Chain A
Amino acid sequence: MRVSRLATYGLLILAGGLSLGPFLWMLSGSFKTQAELMQPGLGRVIPAAPTTANYARLFSQVPFLTYLVNTAFVASVTALLTTLVSALGGYALAKYRFRGQGAVTTLVLGTMLLPGVVLLAPLFRVTLALGLIDSFWGLVLPGAASGFGVLIMRQYLGAVPDALLDSGRLDGAGEGRIFWSIVLPLVRPILSALVIFTFLGAWNAYLWPMIVLRDESNYLLTVAVTNVVAAIHQQEYGVALGGTLVSIAPIIVLFLALQREFIEGLTLGAVKQ
């Protein structure tokens, strides 16, 4: 028993070390001088002469705070809108009977089968035609109707007892009121999980923001780190490592703060009550 526990912890520590290794290297590298970073081999974990010069250059030469605010806005609005649309769509498919319901469900499922990259050119044309190029709405709106979100919400909302909805109707509540005040509180864990999941996806999105955004002051962190930081500080790896670290720090903090809700949402229904 003791041996197996030791083995388990040993494996977990090894896996943890392997996962954290690159992050530690990034953290350590962001405090190293260019000369130390350019030494052969992986280098020391603790910098020989720690410096904050990389961060000073990052914040003095690049409007990082602007990119942070842009990213927070786009990621939070995308997460909220996607979750709302998914909940509404999932609720309709789970609780209402209408002609073509099966076809609509299949169509929603079908959207998940298409690789996103295939849709880039047509999506770009539509976004352009709508005048949404170089606008945050060009990022938010195309992702608002998520096939994955609708289907996952449909699955969870299907478990909400119809009797509860009927009793709401008997009490005179409208459909909107029933959805907002009865249904949503019952599926909070999956709503939280979906909202966090979508937020992380939107925060880390790169390709579409890179295509849609033109004005540098509109850039999100991913695009800024890849293009502005890497372009201005070509081969200055300490600045690039610092930029990457600053760009992922907020979501690490957010995830650590909300991990209970996230795990709850993911494991909901895993164990039969």
Chain B
Amino acid sequence: MLRRLLDWADEFPPGRVPLLLLVLALASGTAVAVRQVRSAPPRFSVWTFVHLAGEEFQQRLAADPAHADVEVRNLGTAMFDRLALAVMTRTELPNLVEIEQSVIGRYLRGPVEHIPFVDLTERLEREGWFERCVPARFARYTVGGRTFGLPHDLHPMVLVYRPDVLAELGYRPEDLATWDDWCAAARRFYRPGALGTRTWRRGMPLSTIEGYTYLALLWQRGGDMFDATGEVTLDSPLAVDTLERYLAMLGGDPPAAGPALSSMIEDFAALSRGQFLGLLAADWMLAVMQKDGRTLLEGRVQIMPLPAWERGGRRTTTVGGTALCIPKDAGPPDRAWEIAKLLYFDHRSLVERFRTQSIVPLLRASWTDPVFDEPAPFFQNQRIGRVLTELADEVPPVHGSPYMAEGYKLLDAVFADVTAGRVTPRAALAGVAAELRARMARDRAAVARARAGSAP
């Protein structure tokens, strides 16, 4: 039977393989044709790349019949490419889109009138949102004094540590008020040995190949890659000095920090074995720790504010963030604005977001909710919500720029050379700053030429 079938297949002029695929195409095509029913496009669409946010948005909107026509789409990381294409071609745009802070820069380039998102500044001022929230968090989504994104998250950063290890070393958390204090403790904690072996111990992991932790520490100190006017400040004396002190932590004798291990879980494991004295973690990383590091760290760790750079100085910094933006060409923005506020500032949603993702809200009124005073068993019943909200007003601004992503890339490209001692911090930061200024000058000249060309 099989032989006859193969013989018959051999008579098909292009051969057996195309015949096999023809059969597959007919069979799958029939299944597709039977199934396909085209649904009408939604009247109002919201895009996000975060699954939990998508689910939460859907639940919130489903509770209100007035928003029955809103479709929430969780597109994962593919959303960024799809949005770029939609903006470029001005087609198939969502009415509202949730954007990650490191990505928004690419849309903020050029004259303000060319930015593809609705300017929210007046709405935010008129309705008092700058006062009702922590204003520093709007800086990331602001260029030329105009704000284009509505954030919801604070993302304060803290130190996660094992109280028993710290006590054994003879310290209490309040003894570690400055990074100098921390470094002194970390140097006492240090044990030599190759990373990953049983004997080594380091104060905390710091990246030797990416600049993000350095930037977080620079933000804590009041520095930044760009200032509020958008000018590059990465080569400022403060930025250079911070990088030098970062290197001193990694390379002192003995060092106060070690290179970050190959993954977050390896860092968790080292903390659980008592081989790191502490780990830097933003609020959302505490949720990841509770999920992925449960078997390693549950009931064994607590959090404390970051040591300050100077006594009495800022005790936190920030990492990460998302904002809702309204694409200009997607239609009238009023409804999108109302839905954005509903999704990001609804009290129940904010509380739930803290409960499931440890994300501290930006909205001051929400911090009085009892959820922030609940003891967290994972953290030895510490009230981590209160520790985090008490740091809220110290969260530093991170200034937005169209060149933000490029700046990160340029810094990452040179960072391994800096930590390996092949380039000095001053030369490295000057190089990155010069390149950014050159790109900005080139773009400004292009805009000026275009404007001159279109002038009557």
Contacts and interface: CB of A to CB of B under 8 A. Distances in A.
A227 B292 CA distance: 21
B25 interface: yes
A111 interface: no
Contact of B89 (A73, A80, A124, A181): A124
A228 B266 CA distance: 27
Interface string B20-52: 111011011101100100110000000001111
A80 B78 contact: no
B276 to A, nearest CB: 13
Given A215-B39, A234-B51, A235-B292, A76 B25 contact: yes
A180 interface: yes
A228 B20 CA distance: 30
B295 A35 contact: yes
A70 B32 contact: yes
A188 B89 contact: no
Given A72-B28, A76-B24, A235-B288, A226 B294 contact: no
A207 B32 contact: no
Interface string A233-262: 011000000000000000000000010010
Interface stretch (B8-16, B115-123, B327-335, B392-400): B8-16
A158 to B, nearest CB: 18
Contacts of B288: 235
A35 B265 CA distance: 11
Nearest to B293: A38
Interface string A213-235: 01101000001001110111011
A180 B18 CA distance: 13
A217 B24 CA distance: 20
Nearest to B49: A231
Contacts of B168: none
B29 A77 contact: yes
Given A72-B24, A121-B89, A124-B89, A210 B78 contact: yes
A260 to B, nearest CB: 10
Interface string B62-97: 000000000000111110011001001101100000
A185 B75 contact: no
A125 B89 contact: yes
B16 A261 contact: yes
A239 to B, nearest CB: 12
Q: Is the interface of A mostly helix, strand, loop or mixed?
A: helix
A35 B292 CA distance: 7
**Most chain B CB atoms below 10 A, which of A76, A77, A211:** A76
A38 B263 CA distance: 10
Nearest to B82: A211
A151 interface: no
B43 to A, nearest CB: 15
Q: How large is the interface on A (under 10, 10 to 19, 20 to 34, 35 or more residues)?
A: 35 or more
B39 A261 contact: no
Contacts of B50: 234
A144 interface: no
Interface stretch (A4-12, A94-102, A192-200): A192-200
Contacts of A72: 24, 27-28
B449 interface: no
A191 B17 contact: yes
A186 to B, nearest CB: 10
Contacts of B74: 227, 231
Nearest to B23: A76
A136 B31 CA distance: 13
Contacts of A128: 89, 91-92
B227 to A, nearest CB: 34
Interface string B290-331: 011111000000000000000000000000000000000000
Interface string A27-69: 0000000110011110000000000000000000000001001
B15 A192 contact: yes
A184 interface: yes
A188 B17 CA distance: 9
A133 interface: yes
Nearest to A180: B13
A235 B290 CA distance: 12
B14 A188 contact: yes
Given A69-B32, A235-B291, A195 B21 contact: yes
Contacts of A234: 50-52
A199 B266 contact: no
Contacts of B49: 231
A80 B25 contact: yes
A210 B35 CA distance: 21
B14 A184 contact: yes
B21 A80 contact: yes
Nearest to A81: B25
Contacts of B295: 35, 38-39
A120 interface: yes
A83 interface: yes
A227 B50 CA distance: 10
Contacts of B31: 69, 73
**Most chain A CB atoms below 10 A, which of B17, B50, B81, B82:** B17
B13 A185 contact: yes
Contact of B32 (A136, A181, A199, A226): A136
B269 interface: yes
Contact of B15 (A38, A39, A191): A191
A211 B81 CA distance: 8
Contacts of B21: 76, 79-80, 195, 199
Contact of A184 (B13, B52, B263): B13
Contacts of B265: 38-40
7 contacts: A72-B24, A73-B25, A76-B25, A124-B85, A184-B15, A191-B18, A195-B14
Given A231-B49, A258-B17, 8 more contacts: A38-B293, A39-B295, A72-B24, A184-B14, A188-B15, A192-B17, A195-B14, A231-B54
Interface of B: 13-18, 20-22, 24-25, 27-29, 31-32, 35, 38-39, 49-52, 54, 74-78, 81-82, 85, 88-89, 91-92, 263, 265-266, 268-269, 288, 291-295
